[in-house]
Amino acid sequence: MNHYRTLRAALTRKLAGSGLIHIVGGTPQPRNRDVDYVFRQNSDFLYLTGVEDPGCHLVLDAERSREILFVPRIDNHHRVWEGHVPSPTEARALFGVDRVMYADELKKVISRRKIAPKAALRDALDDLRACKTEGELALMRRASAVSGAAHRTVMAAARPGMREYQLQAVFDAECLKAGMKHLAYPSIVASGANAAILHYRRNDAILKSGDLLLIDAGSELKGYAADITRTFPVNGRFTRRQRDVYQVVLAAQKSCIDAARPGIVSADLHVHSMRIIAEGLKSLGLLKGETDGLVENGATRLFYPHGLTHMLGLDVHDTTGGKRRKMPNPTKIPVRFVAKLEPGFVITMEPGVYFIEALIKDPALRRKHKTSVNFAKAETFLDFGGIRIEDDVVVQADGPPLNLTCVPKEVGDVEAACAR
Ligand code: GLY
Ligand code: MN
Ligand code: MN
């Protein structure tokens, strides 16, 4: 039984008695006259079939014990311009489904039949997609391995004087050479102060000796994403100040990875990371006061304004697991991802410290945090940018979390990787 068949069977069991399950595959989206955006299959469709071609449908009919994949009927015009598309007979063998029909036959199969309501279908899919099966983990391991190797190549390739997009090209090329057809999200390649722009995408500045480079990039395999960030010195050697901040972020990241066990609430892990970062920023003279207060009053968020973790899977910010997993946030910190960790969850761990001018110079924030934040010192870091370290981690039933990311992150290892 291929792993897609197992997942289809699980979804059918979950929605027993609700009617036909109808999943609509993605369709090409026009970009301009004769050009479409690069096609990427709908994630639910990938989850259940692995089919990466556009214009398909899937119908799971529990009542009659059959599953039908519908593929587009192509004509000669299509054959001339787009090439061959698997025929129903070929698709049946290729994708391991009971039956394949043409998409123009869909109506007659589903008309007058009860269709499972969309909300129930959404919830069932979210519920199932949260815990990854061995088949899914195999794809994620490969996506991580290739993306990790590309990060290592980027570290070795970086030189002062290059443009950020030249490193983006190195990353993309390494992934493509290994057969990864898509990136999981637009790469962030941010040198110097650009690293303090959380969704920086221009990627066109010149790398300067003495600056750090933050690269957040990952590719996907059959839709399964890797999401990896490293921050390293452009000239291969951390300055004292860079190393000091780096060690704070690294300590928070490693401690949170160790703690990612079943039953732990993701929001509590976030607070744990904030405490370590607050302590670190205190030792660097940037924050002052009692740690819990600095976490709760928002002062730490000036330097660490994003989430620690999110689910990872077919979407880079993957489903959080459906209605039955929803729970109140047990912490006083606003966090978007609140869930009790379970074996089979794949999550990112990505604390960071940034020196963001818009926050450090904000008059209202300066008034609010005047006793907690050393703003005069923070201003001396405005050229620093920021540091984020992000790995992808599998929560396991027994034993420690499994880190899928294999890219140097200890200071000495990063410098050695840059020197290669
Ligand atoms: N690359 C997107 C994120 O880290 O969440
Ligand atoms: Mn992430
Ligand atoms: Mn990322």
pLDDT digits (tens, 9 = 90+) for 262-283: 999 999 999 999 999 999 999 9
> Of the bound ligands, which one is closest to the alpha carbon of residue 183?
1
Strand, helix or coil for residue 259: helix
185 Cβ inside 6 Å of ligand 1: yes
Residue 413 has a pLDDT of 98
Q: At residue 387, does pLDDT exceed 70?
A: yes
Query: DSSP string covering 88-146, please?
Result: HHHHHHHHT-SEEEEGGGHHHHHTTS-B--HHHHHHHHHHHHHSPPHHHHHHHHHHHHH
- CA distances to 23, 25, 89, 394 from 7, rounded to whole Å, are 14, 16, 22, 19
Residue 2 has a pLDDT of 84
Q: At residue 1, does pLDDT exceed 80?
A: no
Q: At residue 134, does pLDDT exceed 80?
A: yes
- Rounded average pLDDT over 101-124: 96
Q: Six-digit token pair at 203? A: 């990627």
Residue 8 has a pLDDT of 97
Instruction: State the distance from the centre of ligand 3 to the C-alpha of 50, rounded, in angstroms.
Output: 24
318 Cβ inside 6 Å of ligand 1: no
Q: At residue 66, does pLDDT exceed 60?
A: yes
Residue 84 has a pLDDT of 87
Q: At residue 414, does pLDDT exceed 90?
A: yes
Determine contact, residues 229/213, Cβ cutoff 8 Å: no
Q: What percent of the chain has pLDDT over 90?
A: 96
39 Cβ inside 6 Å of ligand 1: no
All structural domains of the chain, each given as residue ranges with its CATH number in brackets, are 2-128 (3.40.350.10), 131-419 (3.90.230.10)
pLDDT band of residue 420 (cuts 50, 70, 90) is: confident
Closest Cα to atom 3 of ligand 1: 227
Residues 252, 254, 256, 262, Cα dihedral to 10° = 180
- CA distances to 159, 188, 207, 212, 354 from 357, rounded to whole Å, are 26, 19, 20, 17, 9
227 Cβ inside 6 Å of ligand 1: yes
Residue 311 has a pLDDT of 98
